[in-house]
Amino acid sequence: MARRIWASLAAVSVGCCLGDAVEADCKDGDRPGLSMLQAKAHARESGGKKADVYHWSSGRGNFPYYAVSNASAPFDVAHKHAWNWSHPDGRFATLTYGTALDHKSNVYLSGADGVRKFDPNGKQLWEHISLPAEMMDAPSLYDGKVFGSDTKGNVVALDMENGEVVWKTQVAEEIGQDNGFTMANDGVVVAACDWHEPGPHGAANHKVQALNASNGSPLWSFEPDSPVWNFLPLFVDNGDFIFQDLTGKAYRLDLKTGAVRWKNGGKDGTWTDGSAAVGNGMVFTVHNNELPGFDGLSEFNPGTLSAFNITDGTLIWKVVTPRPPNNAPAIGKVKNYPGLSVVMPICQQVMQFATCDVQVHDADTGILRWVFHGPMQLGPAQAGDLEGMAIRSAKGIRGMCLPNGWSAPTIDAQGTVFVGNEEGMLFSLRDMDGDGTIFGDEEISGYDTKDSGKDPNFKERSDPAADLVDELLTPVRWRVNTHDPAAGGRKDLAPKEGQVSAAIPALGPVLEYIDTLVGDILSPQFPERMQCLRTRSHAMFTCYPATDAELADADGKLWLGPVADDSSGKGSRGYLRHLDNVRAQGHCARILTTILYLNEDWASDLGGSIRLFEVQPPLDIRAEVLPKANRLLCFWSDEVPHEVLPPRRDRFACTFWYLDREEDPSSVAFAKAPAAKAQASSGSVFLD
């Protein structure tokens, strides 16, 4: 399965250096400039001559800071569209795979039918058509050439100025139809090749091939312990490079000879679409924990993100991801967090109604920092796959792409994370309030590539859920009263959107009772967990609109996923499984979640239950609780994953979090009231 950049190529206005690059112009103050390090490397190879320094020399950026840009991009991508390109034969006429930017900000786009070059304003300068061979990998720029490979087993070098073939070397009978990377550095080009069975679902590339970047002559080949998939070689110091095979095993090889420095990790017999990453003195790999095959395949099949010492390959840490980590992570400085972070997209692709998340971990420890609950796959295939299959097949191009759920992410100079989704959205993400959850207009922006240069003959898929794609931009939209009479007109004291003040008179008796339960009943029973509590959040009132019958499938089951508001008239689809404290191994203010339900005469056939899970895989269901009026549910914010099932009637609740931080505009101090008569149990409790 391959990654895809949409056939409608959309460019956004980026705050990068245009024209001829100068080192001082494009330098990030928090780390060495990419331009300086690249210039030194090129100078060694060119005998000291001044070399062009490319803005983004490969699908994963520049050596040595892959996936990190020293330019600042606009956060509001929805309103910064600059230009787009679609194939002249229609938006579905090809599959596109990767981009690179040269020193003049020209864009090089690879596609199944070849490579194209565009100037900074989107004007096409040349195209190299490769058919009947398809070019399924992301391009890379090096020493005035564009490098790639094709399905006929060729590694190809094109002249950057005119697209003419400089050299073409056949290294195998076939090179696979995954979406790998052909990369070049220090006079050597590295590509995957030798496509044959066995593989995870048929054939796979079984060898790594190195060639002379100047003339294409073969230098050496290497066969890893398992085949490679979405091959991504990343160059590191001392003339070596890193990659992983499809089981997640990492390799460090000598670039000039192919000699193995070390290899470690992975899980035998498994397969992932993911690739390795380097940064922070470590190698990061991904693998799935389940064996290949579709029996029992689930969007919640776990995987593993591992960190190894880049010098000797020893394991430093590893964490289990709640969804398959089927992509390459990015390592860099993420906005509002100290040190370096690992951005890890997780998703099971080619699974209708499966939801995709993005997780960010501390690069030193693996501790989870924040999470974004993204869109779900709405149709039986990802957007554009079925719609364009017949068109592409007629042109002699692979009919379907079957892309990963996410693109490989990129981090800009401001620490914003940019990542594309299988449903056609390009997202920009940042955690502005440090609560560990990406939510709201200040933290999420999105651009729908399907709206870019739309073919007038293009018809949206007929699935009822397609009408909800815009609502999926934010995981939940609240119906709330944000008036705070205690603020006295002071904006700095007003609660955030989605919150109401604890000073509203009608809430007084309710809050007094809940404070009593927490302070006098639960605290003595769980002193270690409760002794750090200082404040309680403002009340958050929520409404999940009733789900329209049209959203039921043929079996009468309701679709699950992020909540949509009722502007579409189709109501809500519940809320995806999550933890309220997503930094369970580190610091997060939320300790205890309390939810008061406000629904009179709520019967079981109305749905809308909150489903509670065990925190450890396989995440068995612990309980389902109906949202009956005056029912109070309490659970540990970091120990009880939960989801909301779709309701058949408007569903109302009021949520409070008890926190271990000082009072601020979004929270209030709480005092213990006289003891109440209630009994608490471990894990979670609900009282009628």
Whole-number pLDDT of residue 179: 81
For residue 239, pLDDT over 80 is answered with yes
Average pLDDT over residues 599-616: 86
The pLDDT-based confidence of 155 (bands split at 50, 70, 90) is very high
The span from the CA of 405 to the CA of 16, in Å, is: 28
The phi, psi pair for 507, rounded to 5°, reads -85, -15
Whole-number pLDDT of residue 573: 52
For residue 272, pLDDT over 60 is answered with yes
Cβ(167)–Cβ(217) below 8 Å: no
pLDDT above 70 covers what percent of the chain? Answer: 75
The span from the CA of 318 to the CA of 303, in Å, is: 10
- The mean pLDDT value of the chain amounts to 77
User: Which range (184-193, 214-223, 491-500) has the least confidence?
Assistant: 491-500
Three-class SS state of 403 = coil
Q: The tokens of 179 are what?
A: 């979406």
Average pLDDT over residues 660-688: 53
User: Which range (68-82, 355-369, 437-451) has the least confidence?
Assistant: 437-451
DSSP letter (8 states) at residue 645: P
Whole-number pLDDT of residue 191: 96
Whole-number pLDDT of residue 250: 97
The pLDDT-based confidence of 104 (bands split at 50, 70, 90) is very high
* Predicted structure pTM score: 0.66
pLDDT higher at 105 or 533: 105
pLDDT higher at 244 or 34: 244
Report the candidate in 577, 567, 549, 608 with the shortest Cα–Cα distance to residue 468. 567
The pLDDT-based confidence of 555 (bands split at 50, 70, 90) is very low
For residue 426, pLDDT over 80 is answered with yes
Whole-number pLDDT of residue 254: 97
The span from the CA of 629 to the CA of 601, in Å, is: 7
Whole-number pLDDT of residue 10: 41
Average pLDDT over residues 430-453: 82
Non-local CB neighbours of 198 within 8 Å, separated by 6+ positions: 204, 227
| Cis preceding linkage at 545, omega within 30 | no
What does 176-228 look like in DSSP terms, one character per residue? -SS--B-EEETTEEEEEEEEEEEETTEEEEEEEEEEETTT--EEEEE--SS-B
Average pLDDT over residues 359-380: 89
For residue 437, pLDDT over 60 is answered with yes
The span from the CA of 221 to the CA of 231, in Å, is: 14
Planar angle of CA 519, 541, 631, nearest 5 degrees: 55
For residue 136, pLDDT over 70 is answered with yes
- Neighbouring-strand partners of residue 558: 552
- Neighbouring-strand partners of residue 128: 115
For residue 563, pLDDT over 80 is answered with no
What does 370-397 look like in DSSP terms, one character per residue? EEEEEEE--SSS-TTHHHHHHHHHHTTS
Whole-number pLDDT of residue 429: 96
For residue 20, pLDDT over 80 is answered with no
Report the candidate in 512, 350, 337 with the shortest Cα–Cα distance to residue 435. 337
pLDDT tens digits along 621-651 = 888 899 988 888 999 888 888 888 888 888 8
Whole-number pLDDT of residue 34: 38
Report the candidate in 109, 177, 183, 180 with the shortest Cα–Cα distance to residue 140. 183
For residue 40, pLDDT over 70 is answered with no
User: Which range (65-69, 411-415, 478-482, 574-578) has the least confidence?
Assistant: 478-482
| Cis preceding linkage at 403, omega within 30 | no
pLDDT above 90 covers what percent of the chain? Answer: 39
In 10 A of CB 394, how many CB atoms? 11
HSE (CB half, 13 Å, CA atoms) of 418? 22
The pLDDT-based confidence of 495 (bands split at 50, 70, 90) is very low
Cβ(448)–Cβ(365) below 8 Å: no
Whole-number pLDDT of residue 55: 92
The span from the CA of 624 to the CA of 62, in Å, is: 49
pLDDT tens digits along 319-345 = 999 889 989 999 999 999 999 999 999
pLDDT higher at 622 or 234: 234
Non-local CB neighbours of 390 within 8 Å, separated by 6+ positions: 399
Report the candidate in 65, 5, 74, 12 with the shortest Cα–Cα distance to residue 428. 74
pLDDT higher at 647 or 462: 647
For residue 15, pLDDT over 80 is answered with no
Report the candidate in 580, 159, 65 with the shortest Cα–Cα distance to residue 370. 580
For residue 215, pLDDT over 50 is answered with yes
Domains and their CATH numbers in the chain: 9-473 (2.130.10.10), 485-687 (2.60.120.620)
For residue 680, pLDDT over 90 is answered with no
In 10 A of CB 508, how many CB atoms? 11
Whole-number pLDDT of residue 455: 41
pLDDT tens digits along 289-318 = 987 664 557 788 889 999 999 999 999 999
The span from the CA of 646 to the CA of 655, in Å, is: 18
The pLDDT-based confidence of 588 (bands split at 50, 70, 90) is low
